[in-house]
Amino acid sequence: MDVRVLPATEAGWDAVDTVMQADASSRNCLCQFHILENADARRTTRESRRDLLREQVRSLDPPRGLVAFGADAPVGWCGVEPRVRVRHVLASRLVRAHSPYAADDPGVWAIYCILVPPARRRAGVGAALLTAALDHALEHGATALEAYPVDTSRRGGELPAGFSTGTVAMFDRHGFAAVAALPSARTLMYRLA
Q: Please give the pLDDT value at position 150.
A: 83
pLDDT at 80: 96
Residue 141 Rama label (left phi>0; alpha psi -120 to 50; beta):
left
Type of residue at 48: S
pLDDT digits (tens, 9 = 90+) for 142-186: 999 999 998 877 656 566 555 578 888 999 999 999 998 887 777
Separation of first and last alpha carbons in the chain? 28
The series of mean pLDDT values per 10 residues for the chain, 193 residues long, is 92 93 71 85 90 91 92 91 92 88 94 85 88 96 94 64 77 94 84 89
pLDDT of residue 143: 97
**Rounded CA gap, 169 and 158, in Å?**
13
Residue 187 has a pLDDT of 87
Strands in 3-7's sheet, in edge-to-edge order, are: 3-7, 66-70, 73-82, 108-115, 144-147, 187-192, 177-181
CATH topology of domain 3-192: Aminopeptidase (3.40.630)
